[in-house]
Structure 1
Amino acid sequence: MKVGLITPDAGHPLLAGTAAALAPAHEVVVLDPRDPDAEAVAARAPADVYLLKARDPRALELARALERRGAPVVNSAAATERCQDRRDMAELARRAGLPFAATAAFPSLDRMAERAGDGPGLPGLPWPVVVKSRRSRKGDLVARVDDAERLRELSAGWGEEPVVVQAFAPNNGWDHKLYAIGDRVFAGLRRSELAREDAEPARSGTGPPARWAELTLLVGEVFALDVYGVDFVDTGDGTPLIVDVNAFPGLRGRPGAPEALAAMALRRAG
């Protein structure tokens, strides 16, 4: 089989490990979406399947072009785009009955600040809140806002940024990161960037309840994703709240992830 990697960084640990798992029985080729000839190269020597480990507009257009030629792409361009607009992401998840944080959108952070004024918060949404860039991308805005003064501080640098806002869900200060490759789920725990300094320490062996893995796989069905990550917070007694969904995360340091991705690529190629 021939497996194509759509990425500007073929040395990424997950992709490098996947290529190693496929060798020497299978061929791995790299398509850099920054290369204007990438589509022509793929047309001359097509792969049996492509792994889309990039989310910028050029990568998505390349993926769409390959799909029009009949090539399977993991994740599809459409599924990848579904995870980039956080308002649309929230609407799709909540329509499907997933426990996703209620999310409101504003055309800019400045407009949100105008609505908030100096009162106790936004109408129907008291402080604290979590403000995020509407478009998910590297280096985007994700911040806890406890009052109007903090909101004005953010506006100084992000005033024109389209944003979404969610009520801050009380939690233990840790994010549960669940990742899926097909039907295999990997789990991780990370101190929340929104946590207070007095957040409780992580307990040894702390992991998500088993039913969260089932919920993670349901997210994949709803969003038509094959390789993805789901960010949860525990709002008490193991009650999950989904706060974000990411297409094709890095899964760095997850034993077995490269092998799982290699196996998935071969299944999709077949």
Structure 2
Amino acid sequence: MRIGLITPEPGHPLLAAATALLAPGHQVEALNPETVESAPEPLADVYLLKSRTPRALALARSLEHRGVPVVNPAAATALCQDRTAMAERARRAGLPFAGTRTFATLAQLAAGPRLPGPVVVKSRHSRKNDLVALVRHATQLRELADAYPQEPVVVQDFAPNSGWDRKLWAIGDRLFAALRRSELSPEGRGPTVPLPLDSLPPGWPSLVRRVGETFQLDVYGVDIIDTGDGVPLIVDINAFPGIRDQSGAPEALAALAVSRAGQLREGAAVKGRAAKGAAAGAVRHAVLGHF
């Protein structure tokens, strides 16, 4: 199989480890979306989209238009970058997603009515080093607005919790989990601690599956907080996160890539057999028509 990586960082630990597993029997090639506009021929059987820049999404869309599967699809990846659209999709699907309000700019938020209580302010558009801040009073909000006056933002009411996020990841059929101190915690974000799946509250694994189905994602992360007694609240969804230091993650990604590539080849074979059958039928019809 030929497997392509759409990324400027093929040395990322997850990708590098998966590549090492694939290399003995498959050809793996990396495409830097910031330096190439189209994939060279022959095209790979599947492409893994580990980048969210506009150029990466454009490259992924062009490959999809040419009939090549991309994991995750460009549209699904783009949806997870817009926290407003993400929240709307999740709530419509009945997922327990944090209530989310959108403001055109932080300055607009600061100039509006007084906040009813502690809130979490996030950049509307998810990206590296975006804004995520816990705001408890008006003074904090004004200071934030002075620093980022034109930043489009979303606001989520702060849900009291233990200060620890449950990080859940899916790669195909495999699930992984970890515990990490929230970046909103006074102590700051700490190390990520692997979490056994059987320690999760009942229903959480199936909830993660529903997220994947709702957003049409194969490789994704779901940030969940426990609001008490195992009641989950989803606060973020990420397309193709890093999933570092999770035993079995590279193997799961390698297996997913081969599976998706095999589906493309099988689909092409089925179409080829159907075309041959149709052609043979047309010949028989033409021959019989002479009698």
* TM superposition score normalised by structure 2: 0.85
Q: Distance in 1 between matches of 2:43 and 2:66?
A: 9
Q: Distance in 2 between matches of 1:192 and 1:83?
A: 20
DSSP-derived class of the 1:44 partner:
coil
Structure 1 residues not aligned, in runs of 5+: none
Query: In structure 2, which of residues 25, 37, 50 is the aligned counterpart of residue 53 of structure 1?
Result: 50
Matched, 1:103 2:95: no
CA RMSD in angstroms, aligned pairs only: 1.8
- Matches for 1:92-171 after TM superposition, within 5 Å: 92-116=89-113, 119=114, 121=115, 126-171=116-161
Corresponding residue of 2:286: none
Q: Distance in 1 between matches of 2:223 and 2:171?
A: 15
Q: Distance in 2 between matches of 1:243 and 1:180?
A: 16
1:71-97: CA deviation from partner (whole Å, max 9, x where unpaired): 000000000011000010000000000
Letter of the structure 2 residue corresponding to residue 105 of structure 1? T
Query: Is the 2:49–2:72 Cα contact (8 Å) retained in structure 1?
Result: yes
DSSP-derived class of the 1:195 partner:
coil
Shift of 1:34: 1.1
Shift of 1:205: 6.7
CA change 1:204–1:46 in 2 (3 A) is closer
Q: Distance in 1 between matches of 2:25 and 2:176?
A: 26
Shift of 1:213: 1.1
CA change 1:187–1:21 in 2 (3 A) is same
Corresponding residue of 1:186: 176
DSSP-derived class of the 2:224 partner:
strand
> Across the two proteins, how many residue pairs are aligned to each other?
257
Q: Distance in 2 between matches of 1:245 and 1:52?
A: 16
Q: Distance in 2 between matches of 1:35 and 1:268?
A: 26
Query: In structure 2, which of residues 253, 260, 268 is the aligned counterpart of residue 268 of structure 1?
Result: 260
Query: Is the 2:179–2:194 Cα contact (8 Å) retained in structure 1?
Result: no
Matched, 1:211 2:203: yes
Q: Distance in 2 between matches of 1:142 and 1:94?
A: 21
Corresponding residue of 2:62: 65
Q: Which has the larger radius of gyration?
A: 2
Query: In structure 2, which of residues 48, 71, 84 is the aligned counterpart of residue 74 of structure 1?
Result: 71
Q: Distance in 2 between matches of 1:76 and 1:267?
A: 16
Q: Distance in 2 between matches of 1:11 and 1:203?
A: 23
Q: Distance in 2 between matches of 1:139 and 1:204?
A: 24
Identity of aligned residues (%): 62
Corresponding residue of 1:35: 35
Query: Is the 2:18–2:253 Cα contact (8 Å) retained in structure 1?
Result: yes
Shift of 1:68: 0.7
Corresponding residue of 1:225: 217
Letter of the structure 2 residue corresponding to residue 57 of structure 1? P
CA change 1:160–1:26 in 2 (3 A) is same
CA change 1:62–1:203 in 2 (3 A) is closer
Query: Is the 2:178–2:193 Cα contact (8 Å) retained in structure 1?
Result: no
Structure 2 residues not aligned, in runs of 5+: 263-291
* TM superposition score normalised by structure 1: 0.92
- Matches for 1:4-43 after TM superposition, within 5 Å: 4-36=4-36, 38-39=37-38, 42-43=39-40
Letter of the structure 1 residue corresponding to residue 236 of structure 2? D
1:31-60: CA deviation from partner (whole Å, max 9, x where unpaired): 100113x41xx2422100000000000000
Q: Which runs of 4+ in 1 moved over 4 A?
A: 202-207
DSSP-derived class of the 2:203 partner:
helix
Corresponding residue of 1:258: 250
Q: Distance in 2 between matches of 1:80 and 1:88?
A: 12
Shift of 1:208: 2.5
Shift of 1:196: 3.7
DSSP-derived class of the 1:213 partner:
helix
Matched, 1:246 2:243: no
Query: Is the 2:102–2:153 Cα contact (8 Å) retained in structure 1?
Result: yes
